């Protein structure tokens, strides 16, 4: 069975990884230009395909029939080839968003929900939300409700981001500030790369529900797979694939005092998980063309911190890495979102008398205790998990992996 994904640019797609788990069929990426579309749809030898940007509407004229959901949304993200060669169009994004909303635990009935954007994902979210009885307001750059009059909607309970703002590689951008919405209960973001957009990081910081679009992506893929193969797949599979992808895509980030074992533990975790290892201090030295003590001596700590934040920005937005950070990265609060957007932070704790100090500019001269007193609250504020590393490297790595298996 030949299945796959049709779109114009597909380099960052997670779909092949998802369908590899879901079904016994080949799942290929079909990158087609608008000029190639007609020939592909009429003569392509696929059994069933997903359709993504910008072809969800463009494929409709080539369908001999549409499912009721595809008809309602006016968009198709699944095409299935019939024995007579004709195409049936369906839309599984509806099921995808509904599953995401249900998993968020948010109750939207009779509440005001702002949907940002007016494209395909927004239409899908609106259809699901209205079905659940929400009072939906679309915020569009060109509509009557726009980003300049958000104060009319300060009573919003939920925000759904259905714009591409904040998506890789433009992480760090947000379509609006959550400060306008004192009664907000949660934010759902259709984006899944990075795992936490700025909007979701802001929601997390406020302690409200923050969910990315990975549930939606996996759930729509499950329904697509059922259409391709004709076989029912249990909903529990969505949860299993979601967690497996999270483990695969998110970065494991190690923070802690200089010499606490971040590099040694990180290398072992990298070996076991198959995730690529990055030592940010090594990258900084390579980019600067000199050692870290030389950067401190010749350019000062402020210049080093600037270089460090740039490196954290570059690697923090990537996926599937083990990143060992420099001990002082927590002194710059702006480094936290750079690291957490796509990763979970493990604080490696080691007794001060066991810390390695050689070649570490800020650890020499017996100032470790004072440094730890100042930094400990900063480490705690950055850390998602704390790991004691008083024994072997293998033991510390094992503790991290045990936690990782549970996410
Ligand atoms: P789309 O059809 O291109 O629509 C995006 C909408 O976002 C536009 O209609 C526009 O609305 C708004 N927008 C675009 N650029 C903007 C900007 N710079 N600032 C503010 N608003 C902007 O795209 P889509 O298919 O709806 O996808 C939207 C997002 O959802 C993408 O990030 C996509 O990856 C994601 N998505 C995820 C899933 C999933 O399974 N998780 C499924 C589908 C889509 P206005 O012009 O009205 O402002």
Instruction: Just list the catalytic residues.
Output: 56
Helix locations, 250-345, DSSP H: 262-273, 280-288, 292-299, 301-316, 335-340
d(CA 332, CA 208): 25
Q: Does the Cβ of 99 fall within 6 Å of ligand 1?
A: no
Q: Does the Cβ of 194 fall within 6 Å of ligand 1?
A: no
Condensed to tens digits (0 to 9), the pLDDT of residues 124-144 reads: 999 999 999 999 999 999 999
Tell me the CA–centroid distance for residue 90 and ligand 1, in Å. 20
Hey, how many other C-beta atoms are within 10 angstroms of the C-beta on 406? 8
Does the structure show a pLDDT above 80 at 62?
A: yes
Residue 11's pLDDT is 85
Mean pLDDT along residues 50-60: 96
Tell me the CA–centroid distance for residue 141 and ligand 1, in Å. 12
Mean pLDDT along residues 17-46: 95
Contact 109, 132 (CB under 8 A): yes
The two structure tokens encoding residue 375:
């930094």
Name the burial class of residue 247, with classes exposed (0-12), middle (13-18) and buried (19+) by CB atoms within 10 angstroms of its CB. middle
Tell me the CA–centroid distance for residue 213 and ligand 1, in Å. 12
What pTM was estimated for this model as a whole?
0.94
Mean pLDDT along residues 310-329: 97
d(CA 156, CA 264): 48
Does the structure show a pLDDT above 80 at 363?
A: no
Mean pLDDT along residues 178-186: 97
Residue 355's pLDDT is 84
Residue 366's pLDDT is 65
Condensed to tens digits (0 to 9), the pLDDT of residues 83-99 reads: 999 999 999 999 999 99
Name the burial class of residue 298, with classes exposed (0-12), middle (13-18) and buried (19+) by CB atoms within 10 angstroms of its CB. exposed
Binning pLDDT at 50, 70 and 90, where does residue 364 land?
Answer: low
d(CA 156, CA 181): 6
**Ligand 1, atom 7, residue with closest C-alpha:** 163
Q: What percent of the chain has pLDDT over 70?
A: 98
Q: What number does the ligand 1 atom closest to the CA of 96 have?
A: 40
Mean pLDDT along residues 32-46: 96
Does the structure show a pLDDT above 80 at 39?
A: yes
Does the structure show a pLDDT above 80 at 67?
A: yes
Largest interatomic CA distance in the chain: 80
- Of 102, 79, 100, 74, residue with least CA distance to 89: 79
**Could you give the angle at which helices 214-229 and 93-104 cross, rounded to 10 degrees?**
140
Residue 44's pLDDT is 94
Does the structure show a pLDDT above 70 at 362?
A: no
Helix locations, 64-155, DSSP H: 68-73, 93-104, 120-131
The residue to mutate among 96, 117, 123, 145, having the most atoms of ligand 1 within 8 angstroms of its beta carbon, is: 117
Residues in CB range of 53: below 8 A, 6 or more apart: 7, 8, 120
Q: Does the Cβ of 164 fall within 6 Å of ligand 1?
A: yes
Binning pLDDT at 50, 70 and 90, where does residue 152 land?
Answer: very high
The residue to mutate among 127, 150, 164, having the most atoms of ligand 1 within 8 angstroms of its beta carbon, is: 164
């Amino acid at each position: 069975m030949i299945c796959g994904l049709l779109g114009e640019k597909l380099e960052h797609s997670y779909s092949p990884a998802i369908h590899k788990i879901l079904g016994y069929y080949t799942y290929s990426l079909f990158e087609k230009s608008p000029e190639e579309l007609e020939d592909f749809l009429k003569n392509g030898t696929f059994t069933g395909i997903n359709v993504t940007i910008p072809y969800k509407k463009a494929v409709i004229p080539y369908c001999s029939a549409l499912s009721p959901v595809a008809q309602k949304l006016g968009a198709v993200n699944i095409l299935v080839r019939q024995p007579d060669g004709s195409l049936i169009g369906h839309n599984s994004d509806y099921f995808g968003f509904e599953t995401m909303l249900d998993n968020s635990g948010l109750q939207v009935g009779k509440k005001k929900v702002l949907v940002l954007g007016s494209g395909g994902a927004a239409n899908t979210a609106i259809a699901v939300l209205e079905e659940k009885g929400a009072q939906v307001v679309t915020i569009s750059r060109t509509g009557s409700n726009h980003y300049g009059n958000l104060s009319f909607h300060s009573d919003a309970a939920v925000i759904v981001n259905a714009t591409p703002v904040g998506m890789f590689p433009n992480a760090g951008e947000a379509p609006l500030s959550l400060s306008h919405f004192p009664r907000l209960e949660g934010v759902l973001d259709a984006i899944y790369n990075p795992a936490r957009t700025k909007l979701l990081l802001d929601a997390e910081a406020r302690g409200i529900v923050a969910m990315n679009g990975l549930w939606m992506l996996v759930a729509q893929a499950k329904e697509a797979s059922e259409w391709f193969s004709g076989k029912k797949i249990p909903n529990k599979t969505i949860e299993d694939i979601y967690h497996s992808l999270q483990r695969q895509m998110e970065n494991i980030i190690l923070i802690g005092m200089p010499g606490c074992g971040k590099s040694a533990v990180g290398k072992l975790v990298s070996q076991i998980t198959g995730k690529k290892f990055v030592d940010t201090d090594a990258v900084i030295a390579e980019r600067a063309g000199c050692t870290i003590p030389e950067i401190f001596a010749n350019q000062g700590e402020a210049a080093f911190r600037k270089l460090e934040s740039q490196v954290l920005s570059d690697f923090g937005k990537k996926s599937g890495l083990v990143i060992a950070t420099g001990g002082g990265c927590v002194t710059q609060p702006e480094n936290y979102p750079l690291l957490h957007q796509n990763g979970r932070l493990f604080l490696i704790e080691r007794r001060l008398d066991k810390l390695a100090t050689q070649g570490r500019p800020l650890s020499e001269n017996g100032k470790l205790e004072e440094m730890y007193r100042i930094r400990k609250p900063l480490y705690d504020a950055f850390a998602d998990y704390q790991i004691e590393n008083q024994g072997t490297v293998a033991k510390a790595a094992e503790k991290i992996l045990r936690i990782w298996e549970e996410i």
